[in-house]
Amino acid sequence: MNESHSSKEITLIAAASENNALGKDNQLIWHISEDLKRFKNLTQGHAIIMGRKTFESMPKALPKRKNIILTRNKNYKAIDAWVANSLEEALELTGEDSQPFVIGGGEIYKLFIKRANKIELTRVHHSFEADAFFPEIDTREWKLIFEEKKLSTIEQPYKYSYLTYKR
């Protein structure tokens, strides 16, 4: 492992259902505005690493963050974002950031879960049909260090919990 990466707290941040569903047809399945605000607060000022499909599902690069897109396409170009063709290159592009965030999608989480030190997970207490999934969290490797339960509301019909895991 590259020395400069070992001091980083690589954090996976995701919202996944009970069956680990993340999204379908390159879209999020639910809309929890409180969770989106939490995502913004946690990731602002940091490097965020995502796959090409995740980047293309957004209207534009996320402001006040260094957007890094991981893709196999060597000719890929994006406005207001950096492009990396390997996990190492993506981590290299995070520069001085001591806590880069990996924001998806499913394939990117799978790549980074072995390198991550922390997971910020919003667990939506419902099962959904999906085509993108968060990897299984091995509780022998990961310890739950924080949990905050949220009730469903009229605007948001699903109960959910904020979970923080550390390796």
Q: What is the CATH number of the domain that holds 35?
A: 3.40.430.10
pLDDT for residue 2 is more than 70: no
Global confidence as pTM: 0.95
The SS3 call for residue 148 is: strand
Q: Taking every pair of C-alpha atoms in the chain, what is the biggest distance, in angstroms?
A: 48
Strand bridging mode 11-17 / 101-104: parallel
Residue type, position 140, single letter: R
Q: Which residues of 65-93 are buried (b: 16+ CB within 10 A; e: fewer)?
A: bbbbbbbeeeeeebeebbbbeebeebbeb
Mean pLDDT of all residues in 154-160: 90
pLDDT for residue 3 is more than 60: no
How far apart CA 65 and CA 25 sit, in angstroms, is 25
Q: Structurally, how many domains does the chain consist of?
A: 1
Contact 140, 31 (CB under 8 A): no
Listed residue (55, 160, 31, 34) closest to 107, CA to CA? 55
* Mean pLDDT over the full length of the chain: 95
User: Residue 28: which domain range?
Assistant: 3-166
